[in-house]
Amino acid sequence: MTNILIVGVGGQGTLLASRVLGAIAAIEGKDCKLSEVHGMSQRGGSVVTHVRIGDNIAAPLVTPGEADFILAFEKLEALRWGYYLRKDGKLLVNDQEIMPMPVITGAMAYPDGIYAKLAEEGRDTVVVDGLKLAAEAGNTKAVNVVMIGALCAIEGVKYEVALEAVRRSVPAKLLAVNEKALVAGYKSVGK
């Protein structure tokens, strides 16, 4: 059983990312359950999508402390959801900051030194410059696919399988950009 949590800010494409992972499970002939968030939280709120791949999955939700991977599309969200990671799990973080409203209004400050805090909490963290790589691929919205590429590289998913999963999940006209984003994601982490 592989438990993956995808976290980010509403609008960053966590749903699409989870669907690519679901498509990978389908191609690899594994069982899979996903749990998504729609509606109000999608409006710039903190969003979390649960992905479970394996055999005989019951609940669609990952239990705190049991995630093998957390894919964080935003730094603060990595800090917020880090407690879901298991002791030997890996946290992949897109190196991007998006200010939440309490920070914009001045009620709170955006935390400093997030990576140091994650290290203190003992999270094995991999930082990916997803926004830059997505921009180079041709669309900053493709951060989600960059992050999927990074996860697939670490998890050892064959590139051809990941590409087919992306092809099944995105509109045909956006495939070229997303293919570049996927390649960039694969290359972003040391093998």
Partner 1 sequence: MNKLMLTNEAVARGAYEAGVKVVSSYPGTPSTEITEFVAKYPEVYSEWAPNEKVATEVAVGASIAGVRSMCCMKHVGVNVAADPLFTAAYTGVNGGMVLVVADDPAMHSSQNEQDSRFYARSAHVPMLEPADSAEAKEFTKKAFALSEEYDTPVMLRLTTRVAHSQSFVELEDRKEFAPKYFEKNISKYVMMPAMARKRHLVVEAREDKLAADVNNSEFNRVEWRSKKLGIVTAGAVYQYVKEATDASIFKVGIVYPLAIDAIRKFASEVDDLLIVEELEPFIENQLKAHGVKCHGKEIFGKQGEYSSASIREKLYGIKTPAPVAEVPARPPVMCAGCPHRGVFYVLHKLGITVSGDIGCYTLGAQAPLSAVDMCVCMGASIGMAHGFDKADSPLKRKMVAVIGDSTFIHSGITNVINAVYNKGTSTTIILDNSITGMTGHQDNPATGKTIKGEPTNKLDLEALLKAIGVDSVVVVDAYDLAAVEKAVKEETAREGVSVIIARRPCALLTKKYPPAFTVNSDKCRYCKACLRIGCPAIENIGGKVRINKELCVACGVCTQLCKFSAIEEGVK
Chain residues in the site for partner 1 (CB under 8 A): 9-11, 19, 22-23, 25-26, 31-46, 57-61, 63-66, 76-77, 79-80, 82-84, 98-111, 117, 121, 131, 140
Cβ pair 79, 114 in contact under 8 A: yes
DSSP annotation of 17: H
Q: State the minimum distance, in angstroms, from the CB of residue 180 to partner 1.
A: 18
66 vs 189 by CB, closer to partner 1? 66
Residue 39 to residue 143: CA distance in whole angstroms: 22
61 vs 176 by CB, closer to partner 1? 61
Q: State the minimum distance, in angstroms, from the CB of residue 124 to partner 1.
A: 15
83 vs 159 by CB, closer to partner 1? 83
C-alpha pair distances (Å), 23 with each of 8, 77, 144, 170: 20, 25, 15, 11
45 vs 189 by CB, closer to partner 1? 45
Q: State the minimum distance, in angstroms, from the CB of residue 39 to partner 1.
A: 3
117 vs 189 by CB, closer to partner 1? 117
Q: State the minimum distance, in angstroms, from the CB of residue 32 to partner 1.
A: 6
Residue 88 to residue 173: CA distance in whole angstroms: 39
Chain position carrying tokens 């030997």 = 88
Q: State the minimum distance, in angstroms, from the CB of residue 191 to partner 1.
A: 29
Of 72, 70, 78, give the one whose Cα is nearest residue 116.
78
Cβ pair 3, 51 in contact under 8 A: yes
